[in-house]
Amino acid sequence: MTTRLDALKQHSLVVADTGDLEAIRRYRPQDATTNPSLLLKAFDLPGYQALIDEELAAVMAEAGDLQARVERAVDRLAVAKGAEITRLVPGRVSTEVAAKLSFDTAASVRKAHELVELYERRGVGRERVLIKLASTWEGIRAAERLEREGINCNLTLLFSDAQAQACFDAGVFLISPFVGRVTDWYKKETGKEYAPDEDPGVEFVRGVCERAGRGGYDTVVMGASFRTSGQVLALAGCHRLTISPALLEELASQEGDVEPRVTFPAPGERPAALPEPTFRWQHNQDAMANDKLAEGIRRFAEDQEQLERRIAARLE
């Protein structure tokens, strides 16, 4: 009998929402990711100490003040980990631009160039990398510029239809609309529990997929931030699904078929591209999206700052 994980892979490309190399080896995803939150978790794991020591030693030998070296160390660690991941997956590794740059288009583009250069020094071409940016207006504009240069992007922290449409307009390679965080907000607001087919996060991502199909956009839609395997299975048929090791394990332990639950309609007439004022107004009108985007940026920034403090303590 086929496991539900293998059955799911017949309808959607599975991405590992982890930088854990052992989990990646076990579940054989198409793509994987690395970010400051995952690096922070790896900082105390025995299996990563040699890599960390090597990268920090290289940074200590470089010129510059402590903060500049700390920021370079974060980038070097992310790329070193990402390069290892590319040896385990057939697809791509997403690597994140610092959350504190979420409202600075030019700085985000510069950071993306630096990350791509670090990958290329390690023999990993840009075609194996996705630059991960927050779906702010500035992040989307950075992605638009990078896509024109042949640097593909993954737009994350996506909670509103306005964000999705702006990414489609910009020709972004991949977007990651969130499921679990959307549902978290509605559960807190209403006190209700939701079955998978009534789940606000699931409904949101299905709506993004429908928008992508009707507009005939090439952008890949990757459902993200799952809380339950039921949410995952309710989005079978979405282009890609990025799933945590715990839920991958759950799906791999279950036997059964998986039916596609998401369809992409035939293309129709594309809507006009959203100008900035319209984007900001439409996003502003979605209280959930406003709350979760701001919260997500803060959380990513906090993890980056904590990682930088840990690195600084080792470099001093």
Residues forming the active site = 132
Q: How many residues does the chain have?
A: 316
H helix runs in 32-136, sequence order: 36-42, 49-60, 66-86, 105-121
Closest CA to 92 of 26, 212, 173, 8: 173
Q: Are 108 and 101 in contact (CB under 8 A)?
A: yes
Going by their DSSP bridges, the two strands 174-177 and 153-158 should be labelled as parallel
Strand bridging mode 93-96 / 32-34: parallel
10 Å Cβ neighbour count for 301? Answer: 16
The single-letter code of the amino acid at 13 is L
Q: From CA 125, how far away is CA 114, in angstroms rounded? A: 13
User: Pick from 21, 22, 149: which is nearest to 93 by CA?
Assistant: 21
Q: Which of 150, 18, 173, 143 is nearest to 84 (CA)?
A: 18
Q: Measured between alpha carbons, how far is 206 from 175 in angstroms, rounded to an integer?
A: 13
